[in-house]
Amino acid sequence: MTREELTHRLSRLRRASVGGRRAPHKPLLVLWLLGRFAETGSTAVSYESAEEPVSRLINDFGPVVRSPATARQRAAMPFVHLERELWDLRDKDGEEIGSAAPERGGWLRERGAHGRLRPEVELLLSEPGVLGQAVRLLLDQHFTTALETVICDAIGLDPAGPADAAERPAGLRRRRRAGFTEEVLQAYAYACAFCGFDGALGRNPVGLEAAHVRWHSQDGPDEVGNGLALCSLHHTLFDVGVLGLLPDLRIQVSPLYVARNAAGRATDLLHGQPVALPRPGRPRPDPRHVDWHARQVFKSAAAAA
C-alpha cells in the first residue's frame, strides 16, 4: 500500500450518514486508533477496551441518540463495519469476523472481538508525516476547525503536529472563500452574537471568530447567511453542541450542560435570549442551516431520554 492508496481509502470514509444524520463513527474510531499508535506503536485493541472511550467520542462529537443503552455501545457499529481494506477484526479463536456481524456490544464482548489496522497500514503510519496527514484528512472531512484541538486532546495527540498545512493531502485541503471571516465580523459589528464580547487589541479584534452554522466540511457555504460572529468560547460551545439556535433565533443551552462555578453557569443565562442580528442589509442566519445545526450538532434532551 502506498501513501496515496491510504489517503484514498481514508477519504472513502467521508460523509457517512444514517437516516439523514451525519455518522462520524468510523473516522472517530480511526482517529482513536491513530492516537493509540502514536502512544504505543500499535493499533491492536479488544472491543471490550475500546467500547467506552470510542462510544464517548461518538457521543461527544456526533449527533445525540435517544437510548442510553445505544449511547454506551456506539463503538460497536464502526468496530464491525470499518472497511476491511483498513481493518482486521477477529474473535478470540483468531477467526475473522465479517462486516455482516451484529452491531451489538454484548455479541462482540462474548466472542472476544479484537482488531487492528492492517500491517501495511501500520507500516505506513510509522513513516514520517503519514500519521499527521491521516489525522488532518479525517479532521478536515468530518469536523470543523473549532473542534480540532478538542478532538486531538481527546485522542491523545498533539494538535500542533497534524495541524501543519504541509502535511495536508494534496487535493483534499479545505478551501474557504477569501473574505468570509471579515464579512461575518463586519455584519455583526465585531461583537459576539451571543454575549456581545467586542474585545480589541488596538484596532484589531481579539477573541472573535466567524463561525459556520452548517459546518464547512458538511457543505456549509462561506456566506454571511451561514455565519455568526462569536467569541472564541461561544464558538467552541456552539460547535460541540452546548449552544444552539431555535428557528426564531433564540439561543438554547443543552440540558446536558453542567457547570460548577459562576463563570461556567453564566452560559445558562443565555438560554432563551435572542441572538444578536446582523446589521441592516446583511442576511440573517438561514433557517436551513439553523435546522441542520439543531439536528446534527446541538446536544438536545433526546440524549438523556
Of 20-24, 116-120, 211-215, 280-284, which range is least confident? 20-24
In a domain, 203, yes or no: yes
Asked if residue 98 and residue 210 are part of one domain, the reply reads no
Question: CB of 195 within 8 A of CB of 153?
Answer: no
- Separation between Cα atoms, residue 278 and residue 250, nearest integer Å: 14
Asked if residue 280 and residue 193 are part of one domain, the reply reads yes
> Residue 68 sits in which domain range?
3-167
Question: CB of 230 within 8 A of CB of 208?
Answer: yes
Asked if residue 247 and residue 138 are part of one domain, the reply reads no
In a domain, 218, yes or no: yes
Domain boundary among the residues 135, 167, 199 is at 167
Q: What is the pLDDT of residues 186-217, one digit of tens each?
A: 999 999 999 999 999 988 899 999 999 999 98
Question: CB of 193 within 8 A of CB of 230?
Answer: yes
β partners of residue 230: 209
Dihedral, CA atoms, 48, 51, 53, 57, nearest 10 degrees? Answer: 170
In a domain, 219, yes or no: yes
Domain boundary among the residues 167, 188, 206 is at 167
pLDDT band at 259 (very low <50, low <70, confident <90, very high): very high
Asked if residue 223 and residue 74 are part of one domain, the reply reads no
Q: Which three cell numbers stand for residue 93?
A: 479463536
Asked if residue 195 and residue 147 are part of one domain, the reply reads no
Asked if residue 190 and residue 77 are part of one domain, the reply reads no
Asked if residue 158 and residue 17 are part of one domain, the reply reads yes
Asked if residue 66 and residue 141 are part of one domain, the reply reads yes
In a domain, 48, yes or no: yes
Asked if residue 128 and residue 258 are part of one domain, the reply reads no
- Separation between Cα atoms, residue 257 and residue 253, nearest integer Å: 7
In a domain, 172, yes or no: no
In a domain, 173, yes or no: no
Q: What is the pLDDT of residues 270-286, one digit of tens each?
A: 999 999 999 999 999 99
In a domain, 174, yes or no: no
- Separation between Cα atoms, residue 219 and residue 215, nearest integer Å: 7
Domain boundary among the residues 118, 146, 167 is at 167
Asked if residue 131 and residue 266 are part of one domain, the reply reads no
211-239 average pLDDT score:
95
Asked if residue 128 and residue 47 are part of one domain, the reply reads yes
In a domain, 234, yes or no: yes
pLDDT of residue 170: 42
Relative orientation angle of helices 130-142 and 3-11, to the nearest 10 degrees: 20
Report the number of distinct structural domains present in the chain.
Answer: 2
Asked if residue 156 and residue 15 are part of one domain, the reply reads yes
Question: Which DSSP string do the residues of 22-76 spell out, in sequence order?
Answer: E-THHHHHHHHHHHHHHHHS---EEHHHHHHHHHHHHHHHS---S-HHHHHTTTH
